[in-house]
Amino acid sequence: MSEHELRVAKIRDGTVIDHVTGGQALNVLSILGIDGSAGLSVSVGMNVPSDRLGRKDVVKVENRELSQSEVDVISLIAPEATINIIREFEVVQKNRVDRPETVVGLLSCPNHNCITNGNEPVKTNFTVVDEGVRCTYCGTIIRDALADHIEPTR
Amino acid sequence: MRQDHLITATQLSRADIEAVLDRAAEIDDDPAAWSERYGRAVLALCFFEPSTRTKMSFDTAIKRLGGTTTDMGTVESSSVKKGESLADTVRVVEGYADAIVLRHPSEGAAKMAAEFVDVPVINAGDGAGQHPSQTLLDLYTIRENVGLDGLSIGIMGDLKYGRTVHSLADALTNFDARQHFISPESLRLPRNVRFDLHQAGAQVREHTALESVLPELDVLYVTRIQRERFPDETEYQKVAGQYQIDLETLSAASDDLTVMHPLPRVDEIAPDVDGTPYAAYFEQSHNGVPVRMALLDYLLSNVEVGQ
């Protein structure tokens, strides 16, 4: 098997997240909470040539079918991403990611004085606005580099 | 739309605001008629930060409606000192009271508290976030003095951390008001408030000096610039001096200008302004009682008091 074939090898069952903005694959895995500890086989292609995007990342997660609600939040960092559900080497479902209305429990609020950064039993909650995302508790807007705000505990 | 809690000024429509202000005017006209209205009501005062005016005026407001208060006391004397979360504190207090007035140093505290309880929560200040009940009495004072439509208002001082400013700016978007924000560059309105104003299509101008805009103002709302916002005393003195007013400053203003301040003031408004027709800040402070009575009526009228 050549290196090229290895890079694009098909998976038998699972999810392929394609057309991820170049360089964002590891952030996609962070968003999905996939860090390798659960034993899933995960392949990551970064900055591979793409007709549509020039360069793209590809993430393949074997033996796990990701739900639409799980993957929609990826749209915030990779709006062009497509989600392919694979069974027996065949694509049985292909979806685009949609911008979610809210992002719950994923991002930490950059305002240190926000109640969600206190010792309270509450999940962070951001609404998606034109400029980025906005904390529903303190109103702080995160415009850029959303992936920098992914909660470290995930 | 009826509101269950008062968390931010952005939740208030013009109809909500007018309902409270109209009721406040009725109460102001005949306070005695309201003295037994909420005879069984208990209002919890949970102040995690110091307060004079807000706490005392809520205390007086519920008592003038026939009710009473239960006071958490200071943080030092409460279970908060033992590490209790705010979520637990309000769930406990909910069992003792028909509504909770909450002041807390963290932004978003009142919103979170409201998610954990069924009784109305009133945000009496959350960090540098919002202070919507102050806004209602500010609007009442503006309405009594100059009216809320066709208004030109200057809001001056610490616009970045001033929660009364954030709430007032948000609420004024419901009216035909031109808002001028006057502050040092480092204390401009925060991005999220500017975002709200932009979304609401508000007429907004930002300035670093009062002089250019003073003559066209109907209302000048002054707030305190705090020393601790500046790295050193010299810088503070240099900046703060530019945002203080006295009678001489006001010689360039319209004779009908109304000067307001949420108080406490330190030296932003010289005492020589106090006795003049410009000064509305003590009247504004006194309006805290009828307006908070009206707000309590607004929030308690659809809950079963005393259960």
Residue A118: list chain B partners with CB under 8 A: 85-86, 106
Host domain of residue A126: 102-149
Q: Which domains does chain B have, with CATH numbers?
A: 9-130+288-300 (3.40.50.1370), 132-285 (3.40.50.1370)
Percent of chain A exceeding pLDDT 90 equals 68
Q: Chain B interface, mutation test: which of A115, A123, A143, most B Cβ atoms within 10 Å? A: A115
- SS3 at position A113: coil
Check pLDDT > 90 for residue A63. yes
Q: Within chain B, which residues score under 50 in pLDDT?
A: none
Do A49 and A118 belong together in one domain?
A: no
| Stretch A111-120: mean pLDDT | 96
Taking an 8 Å cut-off on Cβ atoms, the answer to whether A139 and B107 are in contact is yes
A9 has pLDDT over 80: no
Q: Using CA atoms, how far apart are residues A67 and B83, in angstroms rounded to an integer?
A: 39
Domain match, A64 and A17 both: yes
Chain B residues in contact with A114 (beta carbon < 8 A): 106-108
How many structural domains does chain A have? Answer: 2
- Considering the domain architecture, whether residues A92 and A47 belong to the same structural domain is answered as yes
| CB pair distance less than 8 Å for B107 and A118 | no
For A78-91, the pLDDT digits (tens) are 999 999 999 999 99
pLDDT score recorded for residue B307: 66
pLDDT of res. B133:
98
What CATH number has the domain bearing residue A22?
3.30.70.140
Same domain, A60 and A15: yes
Residue of B10, B53, B91, B249 with catalytic role: B53
Catalytic residue selected from B5, B23, B37, B54: B54
pLDDT over 60 (residue A5): no
Of B145, B118, B123, B113, the residue nearest B21 (C-alpha): B145
Interface contact B129-A139, CB threshold 8 A: yes
Task: Render pLDDT for B132-173 as a digit per residue (tens, 0 to 9).
Answer: 999 999 999 999 999 999 999 999 999 999 999 999 999 999
The answer as to whether A54 is a domain residue is yes
For residue A133, the domain's CATH number is 2.30.30
Model-level pTM?
Answer: 0.91
Q: What pLDDT is recorded for position B234?
A: 86
pLDDT of residue A1: 46
CA distance B267 to chain A (A): 28
Residue A31 lies in a domain: yes
